Amino acid sequence: MTRHCAAILVAAPASGQGKTTVAAALARLHARAGRRVRAFKCGPDFLDPHWLALATGHPVHNLDLWMTGEDDARARLHDAAREADLIVVEGVMGLFDGQPSAADLAQRFGLPVLAVIDASAMAGTFGALAFGLQHYRAGLRWAGVLANRVAGERHAQMLRDGLVDEPSTWLGAVLRDAAFSLPERHLGLTVAAELPDALARLDAAADALATTPLGQMDGAALARWSVGFEAPDQPSTEAPLLKGKTVAIARDTAFCFIYPANLDVLRALGAELVFFSPLADEPLPPCDAVWLPGGYPELHAATLAAGSRTRDSLRAHVQAGRPVWAECGGMMPLFDALVSSDGDAVATWGLLPGQVVMQKRLAALGPQQLSLPDGALRGHTFHYSRCESALEPVRHTESPRGAAGEAVYRVGAVQASYFHAWFASSPAATASLFLPGGSA
């Protein structure tokens, strides 16, 4: 059965234009008005969904035609349309960047595209850029364009006057204002939960958006963005391969790169999930396996190094032959030391030989696939550090084109890699990561 719902994909000509601020502000504005809003993030991003979840009050899932797959995206959009008045999808990078791109996703599901353009350093060129985005690909459904970081009313009028298709494509201008800027660091936006004024920032952005034609659209006006979302094929039932198993998951501001869908997969496999905080030096709760997800251990290296209960309980867990799967930031403190980009070394947990060295430049970025005996896991890599170890990898991930990617290390019951896995791409392979003797 097809479900209809108003939906919009918030895109831009490049990264850094303000997509997240506008997408979260739009979601917050309508949620405050009492509408049911669901949000998604295009691409393999962990950080922007924190802001979208704060704006909507609901978990935010990722949509990617390669990593999550078309069937998964269709099912999630259809489920959201059953209960929402508005679906907001935030794009990734520039509208046509990447394979697949945000434009590919929009075209596949008929999502109207809103282009957010940082107009702070332009005037007439704004119109040319908007026209190009709208007409570069035939068949792309267009919602309009929003000027961001505008200097004032006169500047806004200049931008509007330059639009070829004005007024139908003009959805307003948002003035530059530090009150609703979202702070960034080396991997992207700061996690919303780390800022005590995060919701106030979103409310300020929503208030600014409320003064624009975009923000003044009511429920009836949203109907022009109605999209029909097809029902997915009958989902397969996962075998309870982790039934009776308890998986302990590190979760705090140092280990926060967790797809909500990954938790859903573990539960569907029959696992009981328990959480602990290495930053608080909590020992492992009673468990059969451990997942150390990515995050920012480099920002908390001294705290992680000073704690002993997490480290000692992890060591005892591994010595008992119980599995550990560590991803990227979750892998980093397992080595002997973590070295900052300035050369300062901190002794860490010492479960793997070698050290991890932070860099000031990006070390790796892109989609990856990990082929295991029980199936292939899709995911991605994104990190600013490098691993210096005598360990020989037991396998490597691959890019979609077959190029060698990230190393996967194994020492006893510990498996670790810079690779971030999307568990739903292969529940059977996922289960093998958390079972004794699995995977390798």
Helix axes 198-209, 48-56, angle to 10 degrees: 70
Q: Which of 259, 423, 408, 416 is nearest to 329 (CA)?
A: 416
Pairwise CA distance, residues 423 & 259, whole Å: 9
Amino acid at 308: S
β strands within 211-252, DSSP E: 226-229, 246-250
Answer whether 412's CB lies under 8 Å from 353's CB: no
Name the residues annotated as catalytic. Answer: 328
Pairwise CA distance, residues 390 & 411, whole Å: 12
Residue 436 burial (C-beta neighbours within 10 Å; 0-12, 13-18, 19+): exposed
Pairwise CA distance, residues 304 & 293, whole Å: 15
Tokens describing residue 61: 């899932």
Please state the separation of Cα 15 from the chain's center in Å. 14
Q: Which of 54, 131, 65, 118 is nearest to 88 (CA)?
A: 54
**For the chain, how many helices (H) and strands (E)?**
12, 24
